[in-house]
Amino acid sequence: MRILSLVAFVLANLSSFTGWGQIQSGELPPSYLNRSEKNNAQSYTVQLADPNVTAEIAEDAITDQHKDIAWRFGALLPVNYTLSNSGEWKHDDDEGISTWKLKLSFQNAQSINLNFNQFQLSSTAKLFVYNDDFSDILGAITFKNNKKDRLFSIRPIKGSAITIELIVPQNELEQNTVSCNQVIYGYRSIHDKVQKVFQGSGNCNINVNCEEGKNWQDVKRAVAMVTTVNNTRFCTATLINNVRQDTTPYILGAAHCVLRSNSIFIFGYESALCSPNTDGVLSNSISGSGRKAITINFGSDFELRVLSSSPPAGYNVYYAGWNNQNIASTKSVGIHHPTGDVKKISVDNDILTNSAYYAPGVTHWQVSNWEKGTTEGGSSGSALFDANQRIIGQLHGGDASCSNKLQDYYGKFSYSWSTSSDTLRQLKYWLDPDNTGALVLNGLDPNPAPFKADLNLLDIDGIPEFECTQSVQATFRVKNIGNNTVDSFYVDYALNANPVQSIRYANGANRQQIVTFITPNLIPANGRNVLVVSAKTAGLKDQNLTNNTDSIVFNINTGTSDYLYLSFKSDDYGSETSWQLEDFNTNSILYTSPNYPDVNSGVLYTDSLCVYNGCFRFSIFDAIGDGFNDPTNAFGNGYLLITNRLSDTLFFENNFTSSLSADTFCLRNVSSISERRLEANAIIAFPNPIGAGEVLRLNSVNNFSLTLRNVQGQLVSQNSGNQFNVPENLTSGVYFLKISELKSNRILDIKKVLIQ
């Protein structure tokens, strides 16, 4: 078979792999020097009618919610443009040069890209593609982009019109073949995001050049935005290292992305700044790849391909490392292109969970929720990295978004490694071709580092932002990002300005190697704590001290702890519901919900959350957007109640019919000014307990909308004012008084009322 012969060829030539792709010389087209010529383009212009994309837009509104469907930006139009049947030739006999131009113009296109079914350039021919104002230029494309299958594609060029310009020596005219069979009309723009701040994708997405990405600046260079499905959709893929470390351009993505031999891989598309958002460059692109391995019937949903060309040095790429052990990471990071946006980073600080795709199993890692950032359509196929910056999976799909904190599913790298004995269905055959048995592999940076000796303190891990405990342990990770091996080094740490402690590492660290340190038990103070950590070389002087030191601030309750008591009754679809508790002042996420199952008639769950005196924001999320209270009772009804140790109601929700419900509350004995201000505004209902038929009063002269419900959420009585007449026929028990603004109906408080 042809694919087997190709496998044999690649294995025999891995150490000298070369190829050609969408490589550009960086030149400007001749027409750029005579830009007035574009006004005379009528003779070679084809005016195309904008396609009706109403159906596509309606479909996108549905499929955009599913990451296992690649994010679509364009509609494919069949065409037939060749050097002989389209465009215009001009011949300069004095210079011996011939020029062919074809302009394709729409009325409202956001971008245009092309697929060629026949593409072959002679040794000195040059092809350019550009838009009307020359703000987006591709070229020069040369014979280095010729491929055996004679297919070629170009990335999206922004604008509603593009010009193809071919410059050929007249003695090579017969050696050139250019046939375009497909035009992609871009009806959704990836370029207008520059006008927004984190709005091209969801507003919780984080640019990779923000603080969260400061220690991922080498790894991010492995991540590429990919056009899929005949270059009408976007996914994400990641360059990956192999045990031979010979820069064979293997790239890992997702099977469901439907990558093709003419897919385009775009590196380095990112905002130069954290904020404001700036548009990235799309010039670092490779056209074409060949499949090496893919899962059957999804499984772990991986696909491994090899690019048609090794990325040039100017692309400044990185080959990511990997871990093929089935060990759940305690901290994970995703780097990706949501909705084709500039590169983003997401952080999960919780241990991963074994799963299948939306089912129990072992084929996937489940990210229960993202502490920072999220993923969206277009993120599909992107790698999940462990705390040691090694690939452990690729994104299959999930429900996480900026509007909810639910799960994402990543096909396990360990499952894809060698579960199948078929070499075309596994990663091991390609990434460990000599069968060395490697379990982990560090990343490979083919470019020289800026410094000979450079230690990077990656993170301080293992200590949550808040904990009820008597002692803690910290984990430090140090990465050698310098050119030279570091023979030995120290990690110094100090808790709350106590004497500095040191841990020495004397085994030597090669370039890109990460070393992990774990401290003995540390005894924190009650309340706020500060841990400062620094990495120091023992011999060769560190030439870059800007990345050696870091610190974290965390809160510890070592004394008698306050607790919140949570009761949650789910509806039939518990998996749609999640919640989180944040510190009101710092926005630190203290607790997140477990993953609730789908159970007919729902289940009552209880939990106790150790907290401290302060003010908090509690939020409930629903992935589908219909909450857990159904007026028709078609899928059951739920509620969520939070009380303190005095049985005061702090949060109650039994009318949740949207994607988000949130409120703020405080515990007593607060100390900070902002906390006192919140507490001072609290509404008090008295007397409580109260007898049936008596008057419940509020400590306010304002009038409110008042609603009384029983514990099942059924309406008992309602009125407006600043007092409430308790019905005489009420049986004793617990009831809930909802206090809302009279005009806006905004909920101000919910009081638990005990009827004697």
Catalytic positions are 256, 301, 380
| CA triple 504-439-235, angle to 5 deg | 110
CA–CA distances in Å: residue 592 to residues 32, 51, 472: 56, 46, 21
What share of residues in the chain are helix, strand, coil (percent, to 5)?
15, 40, 45
Contact 481, 511 (CB under 8 A): yes
Sign for the pseudo-dihedral over CA of 671, 672, 674, 675: negative
3-state class (DSSP) for residue 631: coil
Contact 489, 551 (CB under 8 A): no
Q: Which residue's entry shows tokens 């969801």?
A: 202
Give me the residues paired with residue 606 across strands. 567
Task: Give start and end residues of each alpha helix (H) in 613-750.
Answer: 673-680
State residue 561 phi and psi, 5-degree precision: -85, 150
d(Cα 350, Cα 360) in Å, to the nearest integer?
19
d(Cα 152, Cα 138) in Å, to the nearest integer?
14
Ordered strands of the 639-643 beta sheet: 604-611, 562-569, 639-643, 649-653
d(Cα 441, Cα 390) in Å, to the nearest integer?
8
C-alpha dihedral (204, 210, 216, 222), degrees to nearest 10: 70
Say which DSSP state 731 is in.
P
In Å, how far from its chain's centre is CA 669? 40
Give me the residues paired with residue 677 across strands. none
State residue 287 phi and psi, 5-degree precision: -100, 120
For 424-487, the DSSP string reads GG-SHHHHSTT----SEE--B--SPPS-SS-EEEEEEES--SEE--S-B--EEEEEE-SSSPB-
Say which DSSP state 251 is in.
E
Say which DSSP state 162 is in.
E
Residue closest to 534 by CA, chosen among 480, 612, 458, 594: 458
For 393-412, the DSSP string reads EEEEEES-BTTB---EEEEE
| Token code pair at residue 605 | 């769950």
Contact 641, 663 (CB under 8 A): no
d(Cα 312, Cα 373) in Å, to the nearest integer?
31
3-state class (DSSP) for residue 222: helix
- Provide the residue type at 95 as one letter: E
d(Cα 135, Cα 235) in Å, to the nearest integer?
25
DSSP strand E in 506-612: where?
514-518, 527-537, 549-556, 562-569, 577-583, 589-592, 604-611
Say which DSSP state 17 is in.
-
d(Cα 102, Cα 85) in Å, to the nearest integer?
11
| CA triple 635-638-639, angle to 5 deg | 165
CA–CA distances in Å: residue 616 to residues 165, 583, 611, 678: 62, 5, 10, 10
